[in-house]
């Protein structure tokens, strides 16, 4: 799994003119899932996201986690995070998991994040043409890949 985590003061997802998910302070997370991903990747990534201390404390240092600031999560599925661009100008998405593999893992991470935060997780619609609006705070953007977890 690959996640692009953006600290935001607001974010929303719109599909066909309807808002499907919206948050104020928190994380907008773009999530890519590949065939090699497992339930273990879901748990590791969810725990890392919830524990990540990138919100400012009283001294302006990034020492607070999502719960410390009453933050929320907007989670958006994005297979293009696994684009391969080595050859030619048209990206290949062969590493991205097909929906039959990706949807259950996407649903598992929504549930894992819900359990860890004690809050509902705002989402887009898997596979839809989504319009994302955000106000990146900082800007703070973190890229995580569960294949790197052995090194952390």
Is-contact 11 29, C-beta < 8 A? no
Is-contact 2 82, C-beta < 8 A? yes
- Is 80 catalytic? The answer is yes
Question: 9, 25, 80, 141: which is the annotated catalytic residue?
Answer: 80
Q: Which residues pair with 133 in a beta bridge?
A: 12
Strands 55-56 and 62-64, bridge-based pairing: antiparallel
Distance between CA atoms of 56 and 133, rounded to whole angstroms? 23
Distance between CA atoms of 83 and 95, rounded to whole angstroms? 8
Catalytic sites, residue numbers: 80
């Amino acid at each position: 799994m690959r996640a692009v985590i953006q600290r935001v003061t607001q974010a929303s997802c719109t599909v066909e003119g309807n808002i499907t998910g919206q948050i104020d302070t928190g994380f907008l997370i773009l999530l890519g899932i590949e065939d090699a991903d497992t339930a273990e990747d879901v748990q590791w990534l969810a725990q890392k996201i919830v524990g990540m201390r990138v919100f400012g404390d009283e001294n302006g240092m990034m020492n607070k986690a999502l719960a410390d600031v009453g933050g929320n999560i907007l989670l958006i599925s994005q297979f293009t995070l696994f684009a391969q661009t080595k050859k030619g100008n048209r990206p290949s998405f062969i590493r991205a998991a097909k929906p039959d593999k990706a949807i259950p893992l996407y649903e598992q991470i929504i549930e894992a994040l819900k359990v860890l935060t004690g809050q509902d997780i705002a989402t887009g619609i898997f596979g839809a043409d989504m319009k994302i609006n955000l106000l990146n705070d900082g800007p703070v953007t973190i890229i995580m890949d569960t294949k790197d977890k052995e090194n952390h």
